[in-house]
Amino acid sequence: MTRIVEQGSDVAPVKDFSECDRLELEAALVAIGEPAFRGRQVFQWLHQRDVVAFEAMTDLSAPLRARLKTEARISEPTLETKQVSSDGTTKFLLRLADGRHIEAVYIPDTPNQTFCVSTQVGCAMACGFCLTGKMGLIRNLTAGEIAGQVRVLARETHLRTSPFNIVLMGMGEPLHNYDATMKALRILADPQGLAVAPRRVTLSTVGLVPAIEKLAQEEVMPNLALSLHATTDEQRNALVPINRKYSLTQLMDACRAFPRRRRGRITFEYVMLNEVNDTPDDARRLARLLDGIHGKVNLLPLNEAAGIPYTRPSDTRVNTFARILADHGVTVSVRKSRGRDIRAACGQLLVEGTEARV
């Protein structure tokens, strides 16, 4: 919360309405002597009509608009640059209020329109094949900054009134920033706002087991994607360091206990690294790991990048791996990399020259 000095008064707080869900906005307006429905109107202006200027909220009285302009603010990430891939994928560089930067991605025709958004500046998980992990964790995003990315992307792609999906697969580990991430999803799901149904949202995690167990109790529950990437603890300890704290056995048990909706299933993301985790034995172990779990596997041949000490496997190795999984009754697909030419593909988001670890 920032502070301003009002003429003839003590220092007074300026409330950032972008950080409030609808009930909090209703309470904020009641606190200044207005009826609760005024807060609901502000929420609708911001999230349904994409209006961030109080003076443009014309169903509020002129005195109230003037007061809110003085005593409150609405912030959102600022678009600095965007790059468009040859396949239509668009990467957005967004500047936050404190000068930090994040990246978000629009992926068209997947077959739906999809926004890939970030939940942290950098990431603490340090997965060995991910450029974002090279940044380390700089800070968590707020709920307003997470939801704000969706508003910016919806505006820039002219999709605000059209259906779109959201994947929390950008910079950061969503469950490492649990409270802000879940609050952002509640804001986005509110029927008075963008009304993004939880079934249209997928949250990707590397496997923070206690947070997965907590997520299983949420009323607003997104689809779950698990970044697995290995079939033994030894292998996963090297590739995904959080596995040293939460083993494959613990992780698979949490997945088996995770509630699923009708027709829903857990997605297991598996980045394939040449001659590291892409052997026929790996495929057979993966099939055994997933036994009894209603899930599917997305195989992601590595998106190579400078600083990543692995290479992309051949199509033959990928197809052999996929065929073994299918022969064992596993639903499997090979994800087509999108936006590789602008470094917008999975594991490639990295803000260079603008951040420093804290």
Structure tokens belonging to residue 229: 């990437």
Q: Is 346 a catalytic residue?
A: yes
Which one-letter DSSP state was computed for residue 54? G
282-330-254 Cα angle (round to 5): 80
CA distance 100 to 215: 28
Q: Per the residue annotation, which of 20, 123, 127, 346 is the catalytic one?
A: 346
Q: Say which residue the tokens 């490639």 belong to.
A: 348
Tell me which amino acid residue 75 is.
Answer: S
Residue 58 CB burial class (10 angstroms; 0-12, 13-18, ≥19): exposed
Q: Residue 267, SS3?
A: strand
Query: Helices 143-156 and 36-47 meet at what angle, rounded to 10?
Result: 50
- List 226's β-bridge partners, or say none: 205, 268
Owner of token pair 């197809």 = 319
| Edge-to-edge strand list for the sheet holding 165-168 | 78-84, 90-95, 101-107, 114-116, 165-168, 201-205, 223-227, 266-272, 295-301, 331-334
Coil/strand/helix, residue 255: helix
Are the C-beta atoms of 73 and 20 separated by less than 8 Å? no
Q: Write the CA distances from 173 to 3, 117, 176, 218, integer angstroms.
A: 31, 11, 5, 18
User: How large is the C-alpha radius of gyration of the chain?
Assistant: 22
Query: Tokens 């056995």 map to which residue?
Result: 249
The length of the chain, given as a count of residues: 358
Neighbours of 280 (CB within 10 A): 12
Q: How far apart are CA 185 and CA 4, in angstroms?
A: 30
**Strand pairing category for 90-95 and 78-84:** antiparallel
Catalytic residue among 34, 103, 145, 269: 103
Catalytic residues: 103, 346
